[in-house]
């Protein structure tokens, strides 16, 4: 490669220098004139003041740019299961410990090593018992992590760093190669200037140091941000992989119903081919607590059988729920948790496939020990599966119209500031249920589901909609398992078909 002076015509360079000499000469002559007119100190003061203001402005701009970079940083995904939180904390710790002086952007081998450290950090969190956890990664998934991280980093750099779409790798390499030569020439120039004009050289040095500190700090911030974002991106997709979200195909896991939901949709007389994966809402509670009445209130019409006799619901019955604000959902009416029709194994099976749980508790029944035991069992089952996100829980407190004074029923009631004995008792019952079941008071909604006394069902529906995003995240995590099974079988069929075609064509290749 030719060096720069060999690529410039010396006569053109001489002409350029002759043209610039008069302009350059203005500086020493101007300083001399200022000294003669006794204005040099004012000029020096103005120069220092302008430099200080410029440095302050540059500092503010650097703070703004730092905030922009922080806002563009990759964060955790709310769809991750609880187990992924610890892995992300480890990735953030590695990103914060990454220093620009240790990782040059021009050293590809070092950058690969940094990405490997990020991968190993996540792998170590999910496989602490394995000596070399990186070896647990499959080749296609490793390539997919690199592909996704590179794609996101490219989009971030092109969208956040000015002129990044013009700079080439060659520009950066040449600039880095010329750095040493440029610094030597600059030092010669600064020494000569110090001999010719000491005062001006001293001020220029001060100004230059301030400017270089500003630009140097800006470059260091950008360098640090690039390294940290690189670590976060690799760690993000590694966590995606170990959380089951990073599939080799681009099919959305909730695009179609799972095997279990297809059967439930057929039972609910809904064509499964016309819908995606529905939100699965499970209604639980003791016998005659008002589970079926709650479902009827949510539908606005009679769909579930209700009776004064116990165990009206003899099995787990799905209903298709469509209402404003909720596109598609299956709501399940279950037998009472104190009934022999719902054993612990069945309860565990249906609870682990639920995206939202509605627990129905009667306000006029103070014996809630069994409700608490069943809820604690659910919590233990979810805690034993850190790869799954537990569904949100809402509690409906029914039969509030039977609270004392039992003959009074003049809704609406303001529970935040109860003005009657009825309102005070409803509030007390709500707080008692929250304490007995270890549930936040905000998740406990008092309702009346008696015929011609329907009250506060809209507030309960609004509470369901408030938790819809959280329930959708639970649904997403649940569908990943079904999606991974479908993908594994599809890939295996494709690989076996390709191997079969290759074996079928093998005799022809050998004979030819």
For 334-481, where are the E strands, in sequence order? 356-362, 393-398, 444-446
How many other CB atoms are there within 10 angstroms of residue 325's CB atom? 9
Whether residue 378 is contained in a domain is answered as: yes
Predicted confidence (pLDDT) at residue 421 exceeds the cutoff of 70 = yes
Q: Give pLDDT tens digits for 175-213.
A: 555 555 555 555 555 555 444 445 444 445 444 544 444
Q: Give pLDDT tens digits for 295-336.
A: 988 887 555 555 433 444 556 888 888 888 787 788 998 889
Whole-angstrom distance, CA of residue 473 vs CA of residue 392: 10
The tokens describing 21, both together, are: 């000499």
Whole-angstrom distance, CA of residue 183 vs CA of residue 161: 26
Q: Are residues 286 and 264 in the same domain?
A: yes
Label residue 215 by pLDDT band (50, 70, 90).
very low
Give percent of the chain above pLDDT 90: 23
- Convert 493-503 to b/e letters by CB count within 10 Å (16 or more is b): eeeeeeeeeee
Q: Are residues 228 and 264 in the same domain?
A: no
Q: What is the pLDDT of residue 214?
A: 44
Q: What is the pLDDT of residue 169?
A: 56
Predicted confidence (pLDDT) at residue 466 exceeds the cutoff of 90 = yes
Question: Are the beta carbons of 190 and 38 closer than 8 angstroms?
Answer: no
Q: Give pLDDT tens digits for 41-76.
A: 888 788 788 878 877 777 776 677 666 666 667 888
CATH classification of the domain holding 460: 3.40.50.300
- The SS3 call for residue 101 is helix
Long-range contacts of the stretch 190-197 (C-beta < 8 A, 24+): 196/28, 197/28, 197/31
Q: Are residues 162 and 26 in the same domain?
A: no
Whole-angstrom distance, CA of residue 288 vs CA of residue 176: 78
Q: Give pLDDT tens digits for 332-346.
A: 988 898 888 788 888
Q: Are residues 95 and 121 in the same domain?
A: yes
Q: Are residues 291 and 165 in the same domain?
A: no
| Partners of residue 329 on adjacent β-strands | 279, 321
Whether residue 485 is contained in a domain is answered as: no
Whole-angstrom distance, CA of residue 369 vs CA of residue 390: 22
Label residue 441 by pLDDT band (50, 70, 90).
very high
Label residue 385 by pLDDT band (50, 70, 90).
confident
User: Containing H/E element for 298?
Assistant: helix 291-299
Whether residue 331 is contained in a domain is answered as: yes
pTM of the model: 0.61
CA proximity to 160, closest of 243, 244, 225: 225
Predicted confidence (pLDDT) at residue 400 exceeds the cutoff of 90 = yes
Span 474-485, mean pLDDT? Answer: 76
202 upstream amide cis, omega within 30 of 0: no
The mean pLDDT of the chain is 76
Instruction: DSSP letter for 278, please.
Output: P
Predicted confidence (pLDDT) at residue 161 exceeds the cutoff of 80 = no
Q: Are residues 181 and 118 in the same domain?
A: yes
Question: 5 lies in which domain range?
Answer: 1-38
Q: Which residue has the higher pLDDT, 505 or 470?
A: 470
Q: What is the pLDDT of residue 52?
A: 81
Whether residue 424 is contained in a domain is answered as: yes
| Partners of residue 395 on adjacent β-strands | 359, 444
How many other CB atoms are there within 10 angstroms of residue 5's CB atom? 8
Whether residue 148 is contained in a domain is answered as: yes
Q: Which residue has the higher pLDDT, 110 or 351?
A: 351
Q: What is the pLDDT of residue 456?
A: 93
Q: What is the pLDDT of residue 283?
A: 95
Q: Give the count of domains, the chain.
A: 3
195 φ, ψ to 5°?
-70, -45
Minimum mean pLDDT range among 225-239, 432-446, 495-509: 495-509
Span 495-502, mean pLDDT? Answer: 72
131 burial via Cβ count (<10 Å: 0-12, 13-18, 19+)? exposed
Q: Are residues 99 and 196 in the same domain?
A: yes
Which residues lie closer than 8 Å to 86 by C-beta, 6 or more apart?
125
Which residues lie closer than 8 Å to 431 by C-beta, 6 or more apart?
441
Label residue 123 by pLDDT band (50, 70, 90).
confident
Q: Are residues 137 and 8 in the same domain?
A: no
Give percent of the chain above pLDDT 70: 68
Q: Give pLDDT tens digits for 233-245.
A: 888 888 887 776 6
Give me Rg for the CA atoms of the chain.
35
Q: Are residues 206 and 88 in the same domain?
A: yes
Predicted confidence (pLDDT) at residue 257 exceeds the cutoff of 80 = no
End-to-end alpha-carbon separation of the chain, Å? Answer: 49
Question: Are the beta carbons of 326 and 293 closer than 8 angstroms?
Answer: no
Question: Are the beta carbons of 339 and 288 closer than 8 angstroms?
Answer: no
Whole-angstrom distance, CA of residue 8 vs CA of residue 14: 11
How many other CB atoms are there within 10 angstroms of residue 40's CB atom? 17
Predicted confidence (pLDDT) at residue 504 exceeds the cutoff of 50 = yes
Label residue 112 by pLDDT band (50, 70, 90).
confident
Q: Are residues 178 and 60 in the same domain?
A: yes
């Amino acid at each position: 490669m030719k060096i720069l002076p060999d690529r410039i015509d010396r006569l053109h360079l001489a002409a350029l220098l002759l043209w610039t000499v008069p302009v350059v000469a203005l500086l020493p002559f101007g300083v001399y004139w200022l000294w003669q007119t006794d204005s040099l100190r004012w000029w020096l003061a103005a120069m220092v003041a302008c430099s200080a203001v410029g440095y302050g402005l540059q500092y503010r701009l650097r703070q703004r740019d730092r905030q922009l970079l922080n806002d563009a940083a990759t964060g955790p995904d709310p769809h991750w299961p609880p187990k992924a939180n610890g892995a992300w904390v480890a990735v953030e710790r590695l990103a914060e410990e990454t220093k620009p002086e240790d990782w040059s952007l021009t050293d590809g081998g070092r950058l690969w090593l940094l990405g490997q450290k990020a991968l190993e950090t996540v792998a170590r969190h999910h496989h602490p018992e394995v000596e070399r956890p990186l070896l647990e990664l499959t080749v296609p998934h490793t390539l997919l992590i690199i592909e996704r991280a590179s794609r996101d980093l490219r989009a971030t750099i092109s969208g956040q760093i000015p002129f990044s779409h013009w700079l080439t790798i060659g520009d950066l390499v040449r600039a880095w190669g010329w750095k040493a030569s440029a610094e030597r020439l600059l030092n010669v120039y600064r020494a000569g200037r110090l001999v010719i004009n000491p005062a001006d050289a001293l001020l220029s040095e001060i100004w230059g140091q301030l400017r270089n500190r500003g630009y140097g700090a800006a470059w260091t911030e950008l360098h640090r941000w690039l390294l940290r974002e690189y670590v976060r991106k690799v760690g993000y997709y590694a966590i995606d992989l170990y959380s089951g979200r990073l599939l080799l195909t681009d099919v959305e896991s909730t695009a179609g119903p799972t095997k279990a939901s297809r059967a439930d949709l057929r039972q609910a007389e809904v064509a499964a081919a016309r819908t995606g994966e529905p939100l699965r809402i499970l209604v639980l509670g003791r016998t005659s607590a008002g589970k079926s009445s709650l479902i009827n209130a949510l539908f606005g019409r009679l769909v579930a059988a209700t009776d004064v006799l116990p165990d009206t619901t003899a099995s787990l019955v799905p209903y298709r729920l469509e209402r404003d604000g909720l596109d598609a959902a299956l709501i399940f009416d279950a037998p009472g948790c104190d009934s022999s029709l719902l054993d612990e194994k069945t309860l565990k099976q249906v609870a682990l496939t639920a995206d939202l749980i509605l627990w129905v508790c009667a306000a006029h029944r103070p014996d809630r020990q069994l409700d608490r035991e069943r809820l604690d069992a659910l919590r233990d089952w979810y805690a034993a599966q850190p790869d799954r996100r537990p569904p949100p829980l809402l509690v409906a407190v029914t039969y509030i119209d039977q609270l004392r004074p039992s003959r009074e029923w003049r809704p609406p009631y303001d529970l935040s500031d109860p003005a009657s004995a009825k309102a005070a008792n409803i509030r007390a019952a709500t707080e008692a249920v929250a304490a007995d079941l270890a549930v936040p008071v905000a998740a406990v909604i008092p309702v009346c589901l008696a015929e011609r006394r329907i009250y506060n069902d809209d507030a309960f529906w609004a509470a369901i909609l408030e938790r819809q995003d959280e329930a959708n995240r639970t649904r997403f995590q649940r569908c990943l398992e079904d999606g991974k099974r479908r993908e594994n079988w599809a890939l295996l069929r494709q690989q076996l078909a390709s191997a079969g075609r290759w074996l079928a064509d093998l005799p022809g290749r050998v004979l030819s």
